[in-house]
Amino acid sequence: MEEVVIILVKPQLGENIGMAARAMLNFGMHSLRLVSPRSWPNAVAVSSATHAAKIVEQAKVFDSIQQATSDLKFLYGTTARSRDLNKEVISSADLRQDLNKLELPENKIGILFGPENSGMDNETIAVINRILSIPVGTEFGSLNLAVAVGIICYELSKTKALQAKCQVKIKPWLLNETSQFCSNI
Protein backbone atom coordinates (compact mmCIF):
# COMPACT_ATOMS: atom_id res chain seq x y z
CA MET A 1 0.00 0.00 0.00
CA GLU A 2 1.36 3.39 -0.96
CA GLU A 3 1.27 5.97 1.77
CA VAL A 4 2.96 9.13 2.87
CA VAL A 5 6.09 8.50 4.93
CA ILE A 6 6.19 9.94 8.46
CA ILE A 7 9.72 10.99 9.48
CA LEU A 8 10.62 11.91 13.06
CA VAL A 9 13.85 13.92 13.18
CA LYS A 10 15.96 13.40 16.33
CA PRO A 11 13.09 12.21 18.52
CA GLN A 12 14.11 12.31 22.16
CA LEU A 13 11.46 10.40 24.08
CA GLY A 14 10.53 6.80 23.43
CA GLU A 15 7.02 7.62 24.61
CA ASN A 16 6.57 10.11 21.79
CA ILE A 17 7.83 7.65 19.19
CA GLY A 18 5.43 5.00 20.46
CA MET A 19 2.46 7.32 20.71
CA ALA A 20 3.20 8.73 17.24
CA ALA A 21 3.14 5.15 15.90
CA ARG A 22 -0.14 4.59 17.72
CA ALA A 23 -1.61 7.74 16.15
CA MET A 24 -0.40 6.57 12.73
CA LEU A 25 -2.15 3.22 13.12
CA ASN A 26 -5.35 4.95 14.25
CA PHE A 27 -5.52 6.46 10.77
CA GLY A 28 -4.23 3.50 8.77
CA MET A 29 -0.64 4.61 8.29
CA HIS A 30 2.38 2.34 8.72
CA SER A 31 5.49 3.92 7.20
CA LEU A 32 7.68 5.41 9.96
CA ARG A 33 11.27 6.59 9.65
CA LEU A 34 13.48 7.90 12.45
CA VAL A 35 16.48 10.17 12.04
CA SER A 36 19.04 9.90 14.84
CA PRO A 37 16.73 8.95 17.70
CA ARG A 38 18.24 9.61 21.13
CA SER A 39 18.05 5.98 22.16
CA TRP A 40 17.44 3.09 19.79
CA PRO A 41 16.14 0.41 19.99
CA ASN A 42 13.79 1.72 22.64
CA ALA A 43 11.61 -0.56 24.77
CA VAL A 44 9.56 2.41 26.00
CA ALA A 45 8.68 3.30 22.40
CA VAL A 46 7.42 -0.24 21.82
CA SER A 47 5.38 -0.36 25.04
CA SER A 48 3.92 3.12 24.44
CA ALA A 49 2.78 2.10 20.99
CA THR A 50 0.41 -0.51 22.45
CA HIS A 51 -1.16 -2.23 19.41
CA ALA A 52 1.07 -0.28 17.03
CA ALA A 53 4.29 -1.86 18.31
CA LYS A 54 4.85 -3.40 14.88
CA ILE A 55 5.18 0.09 13.37
CA VAL A 56 7.89 0.95 15.90
CA GLU A 57 9.66 -2.36 15.42
CA GLN A 58 9.64 -1.94 11.63
CA ALA A 59 10.63 1.73 11.66
CA LYS A 60 13.63 2.48 9.49
CA VAL A 61 16.40 4.31 11.31
CA PHE A 62 18.80 6.71 9.58
CA ASP A 63 21.76 8.84 10.61
CA SER A 64 20.77 11.86 8.52
CA ILE A 65 17.78 13.54 6.94
CA GLN A 66 19.44 13.12 3.54
CA GLN A 67 19.61 9.33 4.01
CA ALA A 68 16.04 9.14 5.33
CA THR A 69 14.64 11.09 2.39
CA SER A 70 16.87 10.00 -0.51
CA ASP A 71 14.09 7.97 -2.17
CA LEU A 72 11.41 10.63 -1.67
CA LYS A 73 10.41 13.22 -4.27
CA PHE A 74 8.58 15.79 -2.15
CA LEU A 75 8.97 16.82 1.49
CA TYR A 76 6.73 18.69 3.87
CA GLY A 77 8.06 19.90 7.20
CA THR A 78 6.00 20.81 10.24
CA THR A 79 6.92 23.80 12.33
CA ALA A 80 5.13 26.04 14.80
CA ARG A 81 7.59 28.91 14.45
CA SER A 82 7.38 31.49 11.71
CA ARG A 83 10.45 31.50 9.49
CA ASP A 84 12.12 34.08 7.31
CA LEU A 85 12.57 31.54 4.55
CA ASN A 86 11.03 31.61 1.13
CA LYS A 87 8.84 28.52 1.55
CA GLU A 88 5.18 28.09 0.82
CA VAL A 89 3.18 27.45 3.98
CA ILE A 90 0.02 25.37 3.85
CA SER A 91 -2.41 24.49 6.60
CA SER A 92 -2.79 20.90 7.75
CA ALA A 93 -6.44 21.17 6.70
CA ASP A 94 -5.29 21.74 3.11
CA LEU A 95 -2.76 18.91 3.05
CA ARG A 96 -4.84 16.30 1.24
CA GLN A 97 -5.83 18.80 -1.46
CA ASP A 98 -2.19 19.84 -1.88
CA LEU A 99 -1.07 16.20 -2.16
CA ASN A 100 -3.61 15.57 -4.90
CA LYS A 101 -2.02 18.36 -6.97
CA LEU A 102 1.44 16.78 -6.79
CA GLU A 103 0.62 13.80 -8.99
CA LEU A 104 3.24 11.66 -7.24
CA PRO A 105 2.86 8.25 -5.65
CA GLU A 106 2.25 8.86 -1.96
CA ASN A 107 5.15 6.61 -0.97
CA LYS A 108 7.42 9.21 -2.58
CA ILE A 109 6.20 11.96 -0.22
CA GLY A 110 7.51 12.52 3.29
CA ILE A 111 6.40 14.63 6.22
CA LEU A 112 9.13 15.62 8.66
CA PHE A 113 8.56 16.41 12.32
CA GLY A 114 11.37 18.06 14.27
CA PRO A 115 12.77 17.29 17.72
CA GLU A 116 10.48 17.75 20.70
CA ASN A 117 12.59 20.40 22.39
CA SER A 118 13.33 22.69 19.46
CA GLY A 119 11.36 21.77 16.37
CA MET A 120 13.02 21.85 13.00
CA ASP A 121 16.12 23.93 12.48
CA ASN A 122 16.62 26.20 9.47
CA GLU A 123 18.92 23.68 7.76
CA THR A 124 16.11 21.11 7.79
CA ILE A 125 13.56 23.67 6.67
CA ALA A 126 15.86 24.50 3.74
CA VAL A 127 15.60 20.94 2.31
CA ILE A 128 11.81 20.64 2.48
CA ASN A 129 9.50 21.72 -0.32
CA ARG A 130 6.67 23.17 1.77
CA ILE A 131 6.03 24.09 5.37
CA LEU A 132 3.04 22.39 6.91
CA SER A 133 1.34 24.34 9.68
CA ILE A 134 -1.18 23.07 12.18
CA PRO A 135 -3.40 25.98 13.24
CA VAL A 136 -3.35 26.35 17.02
CA GLY A 137 -4.35 29.01 19.50
CA THR A 138 -2.19 32.08 19.96
CA GLU A 139 -1.67 31.53 23.69
CA PHE A 140 0.51 28.43 23.24
CA GLY A 141 1.48 27.24 19.77
CA SER A 142 3.59 24.18 20.51
CA LEU A 143 2.12 20.69 20.13
CA ASN A 144 3.40 17.42 21.52
CA LEU A 145 5.13 15.42 18.79
CA ALA A 146 2.67 12.51 18.90
CA VAL A 147 -0.30 14.90 18.87
CA ALA A 148 1.09 16.67 15.79
CA VAL A 149 1.61 13.32 14.03
CA GLY A 150 -1.96 12.34 14.93
CA ILE A 151 -3.42 15.53 13.49
CA ILE A 152 -1.51 15.15 10.24
CA CYS A 153 -2.43 11.47 9.91
CA TYR A 154 -6.06 12.38 10.52
CA GLU A 155 -5.92 14.99 7.76
CA LEU A 156 -4.33 12.43 5.43
CA SER A 157 -7.02 9.88 6.20
CA LYS A 158 -10.08 12.11 5.71
CA THR A 159 -10.34 11.92 1.96
CA LYS A 160 -9.59 8.21 1.91
CA ALA A 161 -12.34 7.63 4.44
CA LEU A 162 -14.78 9.70 2.43
CA GLN A 163 -13.92 7.79 -0.73
CA ALA A 164 -14.56 4.42 0.88
CA LYS A 165 -17.96 3.05 0.03
CA CYS A 166 -20.43 3.00 2.86
CA GLN A 167 -21.57 -0.54 3.48
CA VAL A 168 -24.22 0.10 6.11
CA LYS A 169 -27.11 -2.29 5.74
CA ILE A 170 -30.37 -1.44 7.44
CA LYS A 171 -32.75 -4.27 7.99
CA PRO A 172 -36.15 -3.52 6.39
CA TRP A 173 -38.07 -4.24 9.58
CA LEU A 174 -35.93 -1.74 11.49
CA LEU A 175 -36.67 0.96 8.93
CA ASN A 176 -40.42 0.28 9.21
CA GLU A 177 -40.33 0.37 13.01
CA THR A 178 -38.37 3.63 12.95
CA SER A 179 -40.92 5.19 10.57
CA GLN A 180 -43.79 4.08 12.79
CA PHE A 181 -42.04 5.40 15.88
CA CYS A 182 -41.41 8.76 14.24
CA SER A 183 -45.01 9.08 13.07
CA ASN A 184 -46.18 8.67 16.68
CA ILE A 185 -44.11 11.60 17.92
**129-158 tens-digit pLDDT:** 999 988 888 788 778 889 999 999 999 888
Q: Is the dihedral of CA 52, 80, 130, 155 positive or negative?
A: positive
**Whether residue 32 has pLDDT greater than 80:** yes
Residue 81's region, left for phi above 0, alpha for psi from -120 to 50, else beta, is beta
Q: How far is CA 65 from CA 33, 36, 114, 168, in A?
A: 10, 9, 11, 44
Q: How confident is the model at residue 173 (pLDDT cuts 50, 70, 90)?
A: very low
Q: How far is CA 70 from CA 32, 35, 110, 136, in A?
A: 15, 13, 10, 31
Kindly report which listed range (107-116, 138-147, 163-172) carries the lowest average pLDDT score: 163-172
Q: How confident is the model at residue 164 (pLDDT cuts 50, 70, 90)?
A: very low
Neighbouring-strand partners of residue 78: 113, 132
All residues at 6 or more sequence positions from 100 whose CB lies less than 8 Å from its CB, including other chains: 159
Sheet holding 130-133, edge to edge: 60-62, 32-35, 5-9, 109-113, 74-78, 130-133, 88-91
φ and ψ at residue 21, rounded to 5 degrees: -60, -40
Determine the Cα–Cα distance for residues 5 and 174; give it in Å rounded to an integer.
Answer: 44
pTM: 0.82
**Whether residue 172 has pLDDT greater than 70:** no
